[in-house]
């Protein structure tokens, strides 16, 4: 800011213009300071007014204009934000940071998404067993990646599983016995399934390697094995185990109870010759029928569907699925991609212009970002590959608030997305570099909020228009599906609305007080749905809990429903802050309500859908949480009170990079 003022001073033609610029700048700085205050309290529309006044008072105040653009965007006004970013770009045409902001907004406005393209892959990292000391994985066989990007590698000769964080740092190991031969592994939700080839046992573990269940035994009967190998968990928690020595697959429930088996030794349809691995895609089960050089497809009841055969499949061993693509690891030929929709296929065998290639590829898996983890049994390495659209795209980093209430402790709240708007999850301390006034912060704590014990914060928006009056007596019954599950650390707020909105009950954990608030009969004309949803989102943004808006309405939309805040603003506002809007209707829902629920990640439910209502609280509590909080101790003493501090944040993760800056006034 001082530099901006100095530039203005040096270009002044007279003492009068100098004095006038100084007065205008001081006025603009005062507006800016007030705007920052509201910005850091998540009150973005209030911040917009002060930043606009700052820019109006001093048009060359580019810092204020940048904060104005951010405030517009975080408030859901994307078009207005774009105009401000373009104004900044016209001033500084070489600024790559500003250009990236503009390109990202335009890309998302066009509903662009980063389509994963496996036609080219770029090596981004290697896990080398020989360099990992106690986390070595000699004779590795299988791998899995959990929801936090932790990698698990099974070691057959070592009889253990080694766990690594998203940056390749060893965390822990699991070894059930000194003589075990650990083979297969899969991760789903909060559990792992692991097979012990030698002792014909399957272990169900949590991610800290605590044993939740084990089952099996040697033999040919139901629930017995002769060398269990690959394993997979479906979305219901059912466990599929490749019983290789018995040439079959067995299915168990999440408690280890036998459900069914399919396959026997042979070369005909539905038969196997030494199968090795299994994966689940929808209601289909895919098995690598290694001895028959093919992939066999079944439904989840064990009925044979078809064989996927290719003349150049030699020894298919590992199999997994990413979206609609099967990833088949052929230990002789490399990685085989098979599109389940089109039937098209291709191979990936080498990289760096053919200079490097797999020696004996056993298995490949992926995380949700499309990073591929390829396990080479002979090299005893895990190669991590990135699709080019991930590697060459900057991360979109947003500082949503900076808290200095406990100064000199500073808390910086961040949202991090890829260019398509998809959240980037599970980053660690080593992925961040933070500096204050160009001095690097050395003691930085990164709190990834998804790892916190979840509580729930909700705003219940109740339609009090005349259209909903006839459903008044059903409000308590519908709300009870949520209220009876709430705990003391949860909180819920009631917002009523017709032509205006008002608080029926402030944030509270009490079921009784909430039900009392729902008894209010203040029905009237008007139905300003947009205003109540916008304010409900605003109420939830500062909360560190799992957050959701729940709208109770007749299902209709009136001419005045979205006059003040359009559905576009509502959707952008909710998506910017990861807040889903769930809508419960007593009649069939208007298409606009359906779009709001769908595009914010919420659900649209009829009040008669008891099963859907009963699961709503649990889904909110289990909801994804992607925000980050950076905590550090500022080096500036309180004697710097009122001084502006520049903050810079750089992120580097597996070839992806992001940059953001912000600042605060020393309190």
pLDDT number for residue 15: 42
User: Which residue in 344, 354, 347, 343 sits closest to 332, CA to CA?
Assistant: 347
Reported as a single tens digit per residue, the pLDDT across 46-61 is: 999 999 999 999 999 9
Q: What percent of the chain has pLDDT over 90?
A: 82
Q: What's the sign of the alpha-carbon dihedral 482, 483, 489, 491?
A: positive
Reported in sequence order, the residue ranges of 290-371 that DSSP labels E, i.e. its strands, are 294-299, 304-308, 316-322, 325-330, 334-339, 345-348, 350-351, 356-357, 361-366
Rounded mean pLDDT of the chain?
A: 92
The torsion angles phi and psi of 404, rounded to 5 degrees, stand at: -125, 25
Reported as a single tens digit per residue, the pLDDT across 437-472 is: 999 999 999 987 776 778 999 999 999 999 999 999
Under DSSP, the state recorded for 225 is B
Looking at residues 386-399, what average pLDDT do you find?
78
Answer whether residue 117 shows pLDDT above 70: no
Peptide bond before 311: cis, by omega within 30 degrees of 0? no
Interaxial angle between packed helices 62-74 and 44-57, expressed in degrees from 0 to 180 and rounded to the nearest 10: 150
CA 654 – CA 431 distance, rounded (Å): 9
Answer whether residue 312 shows pLDDT above 90: no
CB atoms inside a 10 Å sphere around CB 129: 19
CB atoms inside a 10 Å sphere around CB 208: 10
Confidence of residue 421 (pLDDT cuts 50, 70, 90): confident
Sheet strands side by side (includes 361-366): 122-128, 381-386, 372-376, 361-366
CA 192 – CA 395 distance, rounded (Å): 30
Q: Where are the alpha helices (DSSP H) in 470-586?
A: 475-483, 511-518, 529-540, 567-576
More confident residue, 238 or 19: 238
CA 154 – CA 162 distance, rounded (Å): 7
CA 510 – CA 488 distance, rounded (Å): 8
Reported pTM: 0.84
CA 199 – CA 218 distance, rounded (Å): 7
Bridge-based pairing of strands 491-497 and 456-463 is parallel
CA 167 – CA 173 distance, rounded (Å): 17
Reported in sequence order, the residue ranges of 253-315 that DSSP labels E, i.e. its strands, are 258-262, 277-281, 284-289, 294-299, 304-308
Reported as a single tens digit per residue, the pLDDT across 347-364 is: 999 998 889 999 999 999
Answer whether residue 518 shows pLDDT above 50: yes
Bridge-based pairing of strands 345-348 and 325-330 is unpaired
Reported as a single tens digit per residue, the pLDDT across 589-639 is: 999 999 999 999 999 999 999 999 999 999 999 888 889 999 999 988 878
The domains of the chain, with CATH numbers, are: 25-109 (1.25.40.10), 123-391 (2.120.10.30), 396-450+626-665 (2.60.40.10), 456-621 (3.40.50.410)
Looking at residues 178-201, what average pLDDT do you find?
97
Looking at residues 550-570, what average pLDDT do you find?
96
Quickly count helices (H) and strands (E) in the chain. 13, 40
Helix (H) or strand (E) holding 202: strand 201-206
Determine whether 391 is exposed, middle or buried from the number of CB atoms within 10 Å of its CB (0-12, 13-18, 19+). middle
Answer whether residue 4 shows pLDDT above 60: no
CA 75 – CA 169 distance, rounded (Å): 38
Asked if 238 and 253 touch (Cβ cutoff 8 Å), the reply is yes
Under DSSP, the state recorded for 423 is B
């Amino acid at each position: 800011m001082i530099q901006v003022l100095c530039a203005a001073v040096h270009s002044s033609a007279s003492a009068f213009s100098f004095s006038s610029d100084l007065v205008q700048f001081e006025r603009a700085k005062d507006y800016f300071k007030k705007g920052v205050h509201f910005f850091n309290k998540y009150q973005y529309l209030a911040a917009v007014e002060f930043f606009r006044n700052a820019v109006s008072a001093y048009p060359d105040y580019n810092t204020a204009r940048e904060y104005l653009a951010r405030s517009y965007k975080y408030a859901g006004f994307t078009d207005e934000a774009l105009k401000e970013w373009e104004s900044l770009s016209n001033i500084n045409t070489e600024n790559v940071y500003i250009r990236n902001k503009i390109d990202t907004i335009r890309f998302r406005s066009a509903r662009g998404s980063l389509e994963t393209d496996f036609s080219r892959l770029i090596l981004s990292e290697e896990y080398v067993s020989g360099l990992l000391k106690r986390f070595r994985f000699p004779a590795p066989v299988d791998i899995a990646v959990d929801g936090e990007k932790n990698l698990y590698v099974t070691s057959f000769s070592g009889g253990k599983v080694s766990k690594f964080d998203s940056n390749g740092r060893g965390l822990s190991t699991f070894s059930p016995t000194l003589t075990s031969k650990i083979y297969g592994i899969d991760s789903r939700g909060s559990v792992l399934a692991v097979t012990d080839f030698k002792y014909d046992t399957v272990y169900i573990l949590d991610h800290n390697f605590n044993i939740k269940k084990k089952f099996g035994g040697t033999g040919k009967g139901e629930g017995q094995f002769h060398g269990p190998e690959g394993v997979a968990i479906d979305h219901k928690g059912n466990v599929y185990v490749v019983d290789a020595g018995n040439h079959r697959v067995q299915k168990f429930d999440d408690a280890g109870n036998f459900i069914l088996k399919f396959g026997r030794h042979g070369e005909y349809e539905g038969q196997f010759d030494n199968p090795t691995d299994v994966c689940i895609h929808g209601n289909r089960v895919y098995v690598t029928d290694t001895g028959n050089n093919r992939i066999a497809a079944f439904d989840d009841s064990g009925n044979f569907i078809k064989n996927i055969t290719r003349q150049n499949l030699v020894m298919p061993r590992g199999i997994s699925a990413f979206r609609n693509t099967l990833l088949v690891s052929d230990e002789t030929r490399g990685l085989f991609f098979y599109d389940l929709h089109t039937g098209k296929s291709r191979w990936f065998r080498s990289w760096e212009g053919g200079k490097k290639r797999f020696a004996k590829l056993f298995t490949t898996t992926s995380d949700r970002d499309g990073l591929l983890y390829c396990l080479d049994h002979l090299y005893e390495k895990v190669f991590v590959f990135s699709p080019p659209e991930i590697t060459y795209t900057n991360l979109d980093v947003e500082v949503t608030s900076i808290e200095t209430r406990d100064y000199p402790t500073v808390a910086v709240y961040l949202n991090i997305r890829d260019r398509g708007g998809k959240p980037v999850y599970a980053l660690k301390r080593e992925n961040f570099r933070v500096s204050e006034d160009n001095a690097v912060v050395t003691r930085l704590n990164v709190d990834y909020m998804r790892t916190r014990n979840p509580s729930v914060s909700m705003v219940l928006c109740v339609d009090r228009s005349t259209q909903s009056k006839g459903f008044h007596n059903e409000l308590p019954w519908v709300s009870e599906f949520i209220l009876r599950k709430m705990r003391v650390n949860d909180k819920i707020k009631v917002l009523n609305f017709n032509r205006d909105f008002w608080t029926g009950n402030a944030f509270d954990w009490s079921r009784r007080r909430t039900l009392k608030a729902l008894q209010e009969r203040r029905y009237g004309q008007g139905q300003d749905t947009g205003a109540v949803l916008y304010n409900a989102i605003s109420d939830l943004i500062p909360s560190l809990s799992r957050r959701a808006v729940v709208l109770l309405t007749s299902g209709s939309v009136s001419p005045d429903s979205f006059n003040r805040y359009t559905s576009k603003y509502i959707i952008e506002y909710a998506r910017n802050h990861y807040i889903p809007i769930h809508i419960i209707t007593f009649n069939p829902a208007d298409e606009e309500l359906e779009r709001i629920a769908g595009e914010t990640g919420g659900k649209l439910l009829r009040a008669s859908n008891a099963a859907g209502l009963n699961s709503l609280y649990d889904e909110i509590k289990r909801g994804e949480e992607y925000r980050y909080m950076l905590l550090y101790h500022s080096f500036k003493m309180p004697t710097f009170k009122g001084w502006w501090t520049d903050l810079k944040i750089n992120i580097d993760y597996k070839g992806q990079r992001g940059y953001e800056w912000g600042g605060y006034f020393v309190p």
